[in-house]
Amino acid sequence: MKIICIGRNYAQHAAELKNEVPSEPVVFLKPDTALLKDRDFYIPTFSKDIHHELELVIRISKNGKFIEEKFASKYYQEIGLGIDFTARDVQEECKKKGLPWEKAKAFDNSAPLGSFIPVDELKDRNNIRFTLLKNGQVQQEGDSSLMLFPFEKIISYVSRYFTLKTGDLIFTGTPAGVSAVNQGDVLEGLLEGKKLLEIKIR
């Protein structure tokens, strides 16, 4: 099982981090040890600036390679929510040195995953609203219609480089509103108003 992540897929989020808007998907990976389900998130000792990034997640339902965009919708049947936790201070140091920043993104438990719902239950997969509540207050709001690269384009693009296998997860990018987390915070992820994810920060 691979965790494939798409960076800078919302223009406003790219702007808030002062990054250029990409002309093609920005891809990075997390190992399976990054996955966190049904447990609290403990702030790692190596960072003093962990940020949450709520994302729509698609789960690949069959193997594929060099998938044409027009057929990509046949390769996933469920959509859920996940958080891409980022050690922002570590990431900035890596960026300054021109180094890869996996240690800021791919550390243990950095990919909490919530529940999934069948795509067929959604009115329009290209217009999915999702929200992150931080201690009960809206912190992030997103809509799949605002993605620079929609699901089908992401699947087609990624499959040029990596064979997609059943069970692989694709985190599709985060909207604006990312912020640091602190011990005691509670994060809740809602998809079309339905809570699919809850994480307590320790």
Per-residue confidence (pLDDT) for residue 19, from 0 to 100 = 66
DSSP string, 2-31: -EEEEES-SHHHHHHTTPPPPSS-EEEEE-
Residue 92 contacts residue 49 (beta carbons within 8 Å): no
The one-letter amino acid at 63: N
| pLDDT of 14 over the 80 cut | no
pTM over 0.85? The answer is yes
**pLDDT at residue 79, as a whole number:** 98
Average pLDDT, whole number, for the chain?
95
In the numeric block, the tokens 């990018």 are attached to: 173
Residues 6 or more apart in contact with residue 93 via CB below 8 angstroms? none
- The token duo for 75 is 């390769």
